[in-house]
Structure 1
Amino acid sequence: MRNKTGYAAAVLLLSLMLPLAAGCKDRGSQYSYREAGITALNEGNYKEAIESFDKAIHSSKGLVGKVDMDILKYRAEAEYLSGNYAEAVDTYDKLIKADGQKPEYLNMRSVSKAENGDLNGALEDYRKSGELDKEGKAPGRLHALLTAGAFLEEKGSADEAMSLYQEALQAGETSARLFNRMGLCSISKKDYDSAVNYFEQGLSAEDSAKVPELLFNQAVAKEYKGEFKEALDLMQKYVSVHGPDEAAEREITFLETR
């Protein structure tokens, strides 16, 4: 399924030179460790998962084949989910070195770099992925976009973040998560009319059910515009749909006095 690089082809040739019995034994151990790692990963035991994936990789004696690529991807996921972002970056480096600059690797390395504080590196990987994946269909593309954009906003670069979001929108991205991020970015710029518009588009998106905060955020945008009755109606609708929470109840109490 994946094209072999020169490096992968070379190690495949080396693997054929190993004694068959030893190769089968090592491969059996590798699969066992891999399965143990996947089980631990699914259970949220990330440290245990990483240890199992490391054992699986070491059991291959440095050879890099399709199974090893699969294990590295699982390990990178475990490292990311455990908050070991520098280690995740290092693992994606290995994947890219061995398997080439696949857009999905660049996307997730972008996310890991952003979380590790390397925003410039994250943006570089995001851009490079876009060059290789013109349709933006590779796994992790939206995640990379939203993570980089959120960090830009936090650093006070809302205009740059909005440029990223607009590029994605023009390229055909219609996720409710993107519209929600654009709405929040507009609120930070005190462009409340645009914020309301983006939240409305998000609520009309196919995946809107996955972003329950859209309704809450739309109510906040209406409040900032001084449209208190509409904001109250939206906040009450949010509570009726998603259930009460402290922030929503506090907003309702405030809006009822306006």
Structure 2
Amino acid sequence: MTGIEQLNAGNYQDAIDSFGKALDESDGIVNSFELDVLKYRGEAEYKLADYKAAAQTYGILAEVDGGKAEYLYYKAASEAADGQAEDAEKDFAAAEEKAKNSKKSSAAAPGVSLAFTALASAARDAGDSELAAQYCNQAIERGVSGPEIYNQLAISEMEAGDYESAMSHYEEALSLADSETALVIRQNIAVLYEKEGDFAKALEQFKECQAAGVDTPEVQKEIRFLESR
């Protein structure tokens, strides 16, 4: 399999190895082929959750290809996911400045939605649900929102006790999500029902997720707890 085929198949480590080999066999000049390989390698590293490596790869891309906004957005997303909030915010601001000076709209820049999502998640992990919601609302206002943005916003609202808004945004997220992302959102909806004290609906959601293949220890624990209520 080629590196791209391995990436598409979800074999992220094999893909990274293949892309690394391709770079090693190149002539040392960064041309369009090497740029494409680096982009694919960065994507594979991010999906493998090797965020530090992904940030380094996107940093290299930014250095050798004119510091394009898309590389800085992806670098910011990688840094945020790696817990490097200060670096992420700095690179996000640099990406915004680059995008502002570009002929293209910043909303069209690849990576901007992922960056907003990662920054919101990092803010929430740091206990700042208000900042997380701000990132999500900015993304929505800019027209770069997707299911992950609405999901992050709903989690922030749920944590703040605004269950009505949270449910509305979970439903919005579900309407945009693919089947895999929908299962993550449904688990969050189950948690929301649980917080509201509606244990029957929470149990129903968790059982539906389990039937769809999400049979993790956490889901099993939730089901046992809810069945005892």
User: Does the alignment reach a TM-score above 0.5?
Assistant: yes
Match of 2:42 in 1: 76
Q: Which residue of 2 aligns with 1:145?
A: 116
User: 1:86: how far off?
Assistant: 4.3
Which residue matches 1:210?
Answer: 180
2:151/2:185 contact within 8 Å kept:
yes
Structure 1 consecutive aligned stretches of length 4 or more whose deviation exceeds 6 Å: none
Give, in angstroms, the shift of residue 51 of structure 1.
3.8
Give 2:225's aligned amino acid. Answer: F
Q: Helix, strand or coil: the match of 2:25?
A: helix
Paired AA for residue 129 in structure 1: A
Q: Which runs of 5+ in 1 are unaligned?
A: 1-34
1:98 aligns to 2:64 (yes or no)? yes
Please state if 1:157 is matched with 2:128.
yes
Offset of residue 198 of structure 1 = 1.8
Task: State the 1:160 CA deviation.
Answer: 0.9
Measure the CA separation in 2 of the matches of 1:233 and 1:168.
32
Secondary structure of the corresponding residue to residue 101 of structure 1 = coil
SS of equivalent to 1:161: helix
Distance 2:3 2:94 in 1: 31
- Aligned-pair CA distance for 1:163: 0.4
Determine whether 1:56 maps to 2:40.
Answer: no
Distance (whole Å) between structure 2 residues aligned to residue 253 and residue 206 of structure 1: 30
Deviates more, 1:155-164 or 1:79-88: 79-88
Task: Give 2:203's match in structure 1, choosing from 226, 232, 241.
Answer: 232
Letter in 2 for 1:96: A
Residue identity in the other structure for 1:248: V
Question: Using a 3 Å threshold, how does the CA distance of structure 1 residues 92 and 249 change in structure 2: closer, same or farther?
Answer: closer
| Structure (1 or 2) with the larger CA radius of gyration | 1
Q: Does 193-202 or 129-138 show the bigger shift?
A: 129-138
Q: Are the counterparts in 1 of residues 23 and 34 from structure 2 also a CA contact under 8 Å?
A: no
Q: Tell me if the contact between 1:96 and 1:105 (Cα under 8 Å) persists in the aligned partners.
A: yes
Alignment partner of 1:134 out of 97, 102, 105: 105
Partners of 1:125 and 1:215 in 2: CA distance = 33
Comparing 161-170 with 64-73, which one deviates more in the overlay? 64-73
* Cα 1:87/1:216, change in 2 over 3 Å: closer
CA contact (8 A) 2:59 2:72 kept: no
Native 8 Å contact 2:19 2:37 kept in 1: no
Aligned counterpart, 2:74: 108
How many residues are treated as equivalent by the alignment? 219
The one-letter amino acid of 2:164's match is D
C-alpha distance in structure 1 between counterparts of 2:214 and 2:3, whole Å: 38
Partner of 1:198: 169
What's 2:137 paired with?
166
Please state how far the C-alpha of 1:99 moved relative to its aligned partner.
Answer: 1.8
Residues 160, 244 of structure 1: alpha-carbon distance in 2 compared, 3 angstrom cutoff:
closer
Alpha-carbon separation, structure 1, partners of 2:218 and 2:46: 30
1:1-40 superposed matches below 5 A: none
- The equivalent residue for 1:6 is none
5+ long unaligned stretches in structure 2: none
Q: What is the CA distance between 1:46 and its match in structure 2?
A: 5.1
1:166 deviation in Å? 0.9
Q: Flag the 1:187–1:51 CA change in 2: closer, same or farther, 3 A.
A: same
Question: What are the Cα deviations for residues 47-95 of structure 1, in whole angstroms up to 9, with x where unaligned?
Answer: 63354134134x23xx333223223323434554566544443433332
Q: Percent identity?
A: 28
